[in-house]
Amino acid sequence: MVLDLKDKRILVTGGAGFLGRQVVKQLCDAGADRDKITIPRSREFDLRSMDVCQKLSQNQDVIVHLAAHVGGIGLNREKPGELFYDNLMMGVQLIHAAYQAGVEKFVCVGTICAYPKFTPVPFKEDDLWEGYPEETNAPYGVAKKALLVQLQSYRQQYGFNGVYLLPVNLYGPEDNFDPRSSHVIPALIRKVHEAQVRGDKHLPVWGDGSPSREFLYVDDAARGIAMATQSYDEADPVNLGTNYEITIKDLVELICDLMGFQGEIVWETDKPNGQPRRCLDTERAKEKFGFVAQVEFKEGLKNTIDWYRQHAE
């Protein structure tokens, strides 16, 4: 059954962010009325407050919960307590408030960090509970994974239609390029750009380059979320990814190549690697609501690099 978004009142938390702006665009492309989409800003609406969650949930038909306190390995090591508390409280209270308000559908966007540190590759959704997440991002991952349990239990007890999506690492234009909190692709693009500006001959990179990652272009991720909002109504979590795996070493070399950096890469092996491998099994999304990623990785990287160079100042 496809949900007609035409007259739906939709709340998109995090809707002004990197992913959120694209999700709002995709929802409108799928028939939603932009005037009926509410985007709460964190400076005005603190989702860690139950009163705020209850206020926002009133008179909404659909809630897409994208808001998160998130960052790379550095932030995860520095603020594990904050990441656990903020993400848990935002999600738990918003889901409960949505249930209380009689919201028709709740779409929760989780995180790939919820998977166990050692998960058979490609990651299948059924392996989500086979172990503890990688230590550096476990507080964030566990907090987000708890929301899956909440949605499944609310479905079972109250018949509440909540679905849970697991997008792999995102990238694309307008990403967060702040070195204190950015993820690997924007962090590397900025690092290479600044090394070029300074004329550096060496590029220091955390770890030893051996871990692998999978990346999903932001437009693809947003399209997948919009498709699930319309066409997925089951309790099982669903991966959103490309099923394309690349090592950090190959990623760094590719970015250097695309940006024309000629210097030497220096691996800082005293710094953490993070999870050893990441690559998703993407069959369930394809089978359940027809989602397949479309943007080829090199093309997506070029778009991201071009955007950053235009906005680097």
Catalytic site residue 217?
Answer: no
Q: And the tokens for 256?
A: 């250097």
15 is in an annotated binding site: yes
SS3 52: helix
Q: Are 144 and 76 in contact (CB under 8 A)?
A: no
Q: Which of 85, 115, 132, 140 is catalytic?
A: 140
Q: Is 260 annotated as a binding residue?
A: no
The residues, any chain, with a CB within 8 Å of residue 116's CB and separated by 6 or more, are: 127, 128, 129, 130, 131, 132, 133
| 162 assigned binding-site residue | no
Query: Is 199 one of the annotated binding-site residues?
Result: no
Q: Please say whether the beta carbons of 211 and 275 come within 8 A.
A: yes
Q: 307 among the known binding-site residues?
A: no
Backbone angles phi, psi at 206, to 5 degrees: -60, 145
Q: Is 16 annotated as a binding residue?
A: yes
Annotation-wise, does 206 bind a ligand?
A: yes
Q: Is 168 annotated as a binding residue?
A: yes
- Whether residue 81 is annotated as binding a ligand: the answer is no
What is the Cα–Cα distance from 260 to 132, expressed in whole angstroms? 40
User: Taking a C-beta distance cutoff of 8 angstroms, is the pair 93, 136 a contact?
Assistant: no
Whether 17 has a binding-site annotation, put simply, is yes
The C-alpha atoms of residue 90 and residue 88 are separated, in whole angstroms, by 6
143 assigned binding-site residue: no
- Between CA 244 and CA 239 the distance in angstroms is 13
Q: Is 167 annotated as a binding residue?
A: yes
Q: Is 41 annotated as a binding residue?
A: no
Rounded to whole angstroms, the Cα distance separating 71 from 25 reads 24
CA separation (Å) from 159 to 95, 134, 156? 13, 33, 6
191 is in an annotated binding site: yes
Pairing of strands 264-268, 202-206: parallel
Binding positions for NADP(+) are 14-20, 144, 167-170, 183
Binding positions for substrate are 191, 206, 213
Binding positions are 14-20, 144, 167-170, 183, 191, 206, 213
Catalytic residues: 140
